[in-house]
Amino acid sequence: MRSLLMFAAGMIAGVLLMQPGAAQQATAERLTLNHVSLSVKNFDEAVNFYTKTMGFREAFTFREPDGKPSLTYLQISRDTFLELQPATAERPAGMAHIGLESTDVRATAKRLQQRGVKVPDPTVSQRSGAVLTTGSDGEGLRFELLEFGPASVQRKAMNAWK
């Protein structure tokens, strides 16, 4: 788990410090790291660790019909989150994906599709209200592309940050 946290912290620092490349500057849309998603063996213990020990604020939680949490966003900074979800047989413990915020997710998806990346056309998430799509890199690491309108739970959490 420590190695995974170090990797995630390095990714966040790298993206935040990285200047946009020429290809990104040439496009109207902008991508930034929004979240790292972890599947965890003990969901309650993980939430407790990141809120009580690390001091991250719980931004929002989605629950199953039976009341069990299915996903929790913990806010690290105004625009950066850690997403936790329970590990399952289909989703083993470890890093699940990275979430990249786009200022224009439809344009970003179209650009990636033109470059041969298999990215479905974006749709509006019924749970969060964000416009999103998913894809994976050459190594199979999954990513989400997200655009947060004013009604999305992510944008509301960002706007509430103090």
Domain CATH number, residue 99: 3.10.180.10
pLDDT above 70 coverage of the chain, percent:
83
**pLDDT for the residue numbered 121:** 96
Is residue 22 situated within a structural domain? no
Residues 18-28 pLDDT 10s? 444 444 445 56
Q: What is the count of structural domains for the chain? A: 1
Domain of residue 59: give its range.
Answer: 2-9+29-160
**pLDDT for the residue numbered 55:** 97
**pLDDT for the residue numbered 13:** 40
Is residue 142 situated within a structural domain? yes
Residues whose CB is less than 8 angstroms from the CB of residue 96 and which lie 6 or more positions away in sequence, other chains included: 37, 38, 39, 83, 85, 142
**pLDDT for the residue numbered 162:** 87
Q: Mean pLDDT over residues 137-154, rounded?
A: 96
Task: Point out which residues pair with 31 in neighbouring strands.
Answer: 102
Is residue 96 situated within a structural domain? yes
**pLDDT for the residue numbered 28:** 65
Strand 142-147 to 94-102 pairing: parallel
Residues 104-139 pLDDT 10s? 999 999 999 999 999 999 999 999 999 999 999 999
Residue of 128 and 9 predicted with greater confidence: 128
Residues 48-76 pLDDT 10s? 999 999 999 999 999 999 999 999 999 99
Residues whose CB is less than 8 angstroms from the CB of residue 34 and which lie 6 or more positions away in sequence, other chains included: 79, 80, 81, 99, 100, 101, 146, 154
- Show the CA angle centred on residue 49, arms to residues 44 and 51, nearest 5°: 95
Is residue 98 situated within a structural domain? yes
pTM metric for this prediction: 0.82
